[in-house]
Structure 1
């Protein structure tokens, strides 16, 4: 039965794949190779499988390349947005600081004007009191003069001609005096009315200045609130990033300030209290400036710390993590002091932070290896490279090419062995990479 089935299969195959003969001719003889239907079928199936595998592998590599390019572009966009946000906050900070200074100057001018108005008002009040006192004196004198005039007229009617002439002269003198006093009294009354009017205008000006002062205080409070919110929102992810990496932000900032060598230096308070107690606005403004200074120090520390990925293209897969594992050569538990990234031979390896190359060459176990010393007691190590593109003593920046992925040294396949040391002690590099995932 099996022979009959095989015969039927062979017959069916011959309809579509007839037997072929391949002749091989040499100088002394001619030979041929017989290609039976089953053999042709196996060759077709194998060729089709090979073509299918080639197509699938090419598609996977193409998709991985596109994904890596997308991740790289997204990282660049996020970094550009972060830098743009820092620049915008810095510009807004400078603008708000200038507005605060101008507002303080306007407020000081308003206070000076109020002080001058109060001085004039007090002077007008004193003048008004003096005028009222003078008016009372003039009125009393006028009453006494009128009384003397009436008495003089009565005496003039009963006296002789000589006496009458003398009394008439006295009356004329009295009338002239009354006219002078009446004129002075009218002038004093007019001055009093002008002083009252000036006092009313001064009160209105003071009320307007006080309203302007309240509006200015409300505007300054809104500006300070926006700046404080911006500083808080920008500081939280940076502070969280350093804490998750196991680094004390306060100690880190102290080290940055001690070693700061960039132009400009840390921000300092722009408002001088001139030896007096600072106002609430001055305290808030200086607190905002301190926040911007802290954020600027964070930015410097982030550039000098290994928070980036040594293979930013993303064309890799993690094959071994940090910690104890089974030794791939001899078995048994052994501490793995870094993480392994597997990828294509020759994949570019980038520096994860600014630093100085302290080792670059062959090292037992690591093969071709590069070691970089960073600030704050940090070091990074890149092992099993195929090529090294830096030399000892060279200064490198984050993202600079330092080597290519390879299989040198004690290695079972093409990969990068990556280590991070803090104070000479190895730590998990993924702690730094994950801590920065929400910032960069």
Structure 2
């Protein structure tokens, strides 16, 4: 039955594919191989299938190569744009910090000038009060002297009247009169001297009033300059605080608790900024002191934000050569199928790509762990922990303190992976959170 079917098939194919004979010549003789139509059809079909398969595989390979090249170019452009923006934001942050420092220096100079003006004004006011007291004393002495002069004149008139009544003449009282005249001359000289001193005191008072007016004018100018300086400082502090506060809130971090914890554990050089000393006499602080304290509080808050940001994972674990391949959330399991939680973000790159700490912290684990492969865990403040998995090499040890941007290992493909990449996790109080919340929030500052 099968033979008949083959014969019929060969007969049908013989019209298009006649039987061929392949002769093979050797020293022993000549032989030939008969190629039936069915065999020829099978060979042609196999060749066509092989050529088609080769063409399809080659096309798929070329398409994948072109797509991968375009993806790498897009990632490279995105990384370049991010790096440029990062540099611009860093320059702007440095400029704002420089403006804040310059404004603080100007504020210090202005406060010194105001203090000097106030000291001079108080000294002038003291001199004016002393002059007023001196004038009052002189006027009192003058009135007393004039009263004594009038009394002396009255007594002289009375004595002359008594002498004239007793003797009927005033010739015998000539000596007493000369004495009275000398006394009166002395009193007149004293009154003249007192009047001169009074005029000098009035001139000194006029000079003092002019000096007070000048000092008040200079104090007003200093107050106006201080107002401009305060405004510039307040604007600089506000512009510095806004991106830092936005960064923390975008990452979902409790800013008030973080700032309070940093303030309690502050150990930086110089300590936090202290408020201006208030009066010890129970007097209410003036407006300048209140505004100065507000500025100092703002600068202190900027400093505390900076200290907290350096310790939190706001930067990228890899450089611009890596590409983002998988995000946080549920996704199909590449090994067993089904939906499973992907507790971090993946960044792919060649084996050996440097991996960096994303914030200051302490290494709590450094070694191999089940599906993670070679793994490094770093504990950060405020209950945060970062994990860096699938490394090819670890460059830190447990208990070691690391800083932001310090290399902790190399990218690899150890553990449960399908290719070379780093699996990066951020955990808050042990619960996985999306690392891109921190990375995206930090792009506007770092």
What residue ranges of structure 1 are gaps of 5+ in the alignment?
A: 1-42
Q: Hey, what does 1:309 align to over in structure 2?
A: 316
SS at match of 1:365: helix
State the shift of 1:73 in Å.
Answer: 5.8
Is the counterpart of residue 128 in structure 1 residue 139 in structure 2? yes
What residue ranges of structure 2 are gaps of 5+ in the alignment?
A: 1-53
State the shift of 1:401 in Å.
Answer: 1.7
Distance verdict in 2 for CA 1:216–1:89, change over 3 Å: same
Counterpart-to-counterpart distance in 2, 1:412 and 1:403: 20
Q: Hey, what does 1:176 align to over in structure 2?
A: 182
Q: Hey, what does 2:7 align to over in structure 1?
A: none
Counterpart-to-counterpart distance in 1, 2:406 and 2:76: 21
Q: Hey, what does 1:408 align to over in structure 2?
A: 414
Q: Hey, what does 2:292 align to over in structure 1?
A: 285
Q: Hey, what does 2:302 align to over in structure 1?
A: 295
Counterpart-to-counterpart distance in 2, 1:401 and 1:76: 20
Q: Hey, what does 1:117 align to over in structure 2?
A: 128
Distance verdict in 2 for CA 1:328–1:58, change over 3 Å: closer
1:357–1:390 Cα contact (<8 Å) kept: yes
Q: Hey, what does 2:426 align to over in structure 1?
A: 420
Counterpart-to-counterpart distance in 1, 2:184 and 2:121: 47
Counterpart-to-counterpart distance in 2, 1:219 and 1:80: 28
Q: Hey, what does 1:431 align to over in structure 2?
A: 437
2:376–2:389 Cα contact (<8 Å) kept: yes
TM-score normalised over the length of structure 2: 0.75
2:373–2:415 Cα contact (<8 Å) kept: yes
State the shift of 1:241 in Å.
Answer: 0.9
SS at match of 2:405: coil
Any residues of structure 2 matched to 1:2-13 within 5 Å, and which? Answer: none
State the shift of 1:285 in Å.
Answer: 1.6
Counterpart-to-counterpart distance in 1, 2:334 and 2:175: 140
TM-score normalised over the length of structure 1: 0.76
1:114–1:209 Cα contact (<8 Å) kept: no
Deviations 1:296-351 (A, max 9, x none): 1111111110000112325313x322122222222222222112223334332211
Per mean C-alpha deviation after superposition, the further-off stretch among 140-149 and 417-426 is 140-149
Distance verdict in 2 for CA 1:147–1:194, change over 3 Å: farther
Distance verdict in 2 for CA 1:336–1:154, change over 3 Å: same
2:317–2:358 Cα contact (<8 Å) kept: yes
Is the counterpart of residue 166 in structure 1 residue 177 in structure 2? no
Q: 1:185 aligns with which of 183, 191, 208?
A: 191
State the shift of 1:426 in Å.
Answer: 0.8
Counterpart-to-counterpart distance in 2, 1:138 and 1:218: 56
Deviations 1:258-311 (A, max 9, x none): 333332222222435335333222222222222212111111111110000112
Per mean C-alpha deviation after superposition, the further-off stretch among 164-173 and 212-221 is 164-173
SS at match of 2:409: strand
Counterpart-to-counterpart distance in 1, 2:444 and 2:83: 15
SS at match of 2:371: coil
1:71–1:314 Cα contact (<8 Å) kept: no
Q: Hey, what does 2:332 align to over in structure 1?
A: 326
Q: Hey, what does 1:24 align to over in structure 2?
A: none
State the shift of 1:410 in Å.
Answer: 1.9
Counterpart-to-counterpart distance in 2, 1:62 and 1:334: 31
Counterpart-to-counterpart distance in 2, 1:128 and 1:289: 52
State the shift of 1:220 in Å.
Answer: 2.2
1:152–1:167 Cα contact (<8 Å) kept: no
Is the counterpart of residue 384 in structure 1 residue 390 in structure 2? yes
Q: 2:114 aligns with which of 103, 107, 110?
A: 103
State the shift of 1:251 in Å.
Answer: 0.9
Q: Hey, what does 1:256 align to over in structure 2?
A: 262
Q: Hey, what does 1:209 align to over in structure 2?
A: 215
Distance verdict in 2 for CA 1:403–1:261, change over 3 Å: same
Per mean C-alpha deviation after superposition, the further-off stretch among 129-138 and 185-194 is 129-138
Q: Hey, what does 2:39 align to over in structure 1?
A: none
Is the counterpart of residue 234 in structure 1 residue 245 in structure 2? no
State the shift of 1:140 in Å.
Answer: 6.5
2:75–2:323 Cα contact (<8 Å) kept: no
Distance verdict in 2 for CA 1:416–1:61, change over 3 Å: same
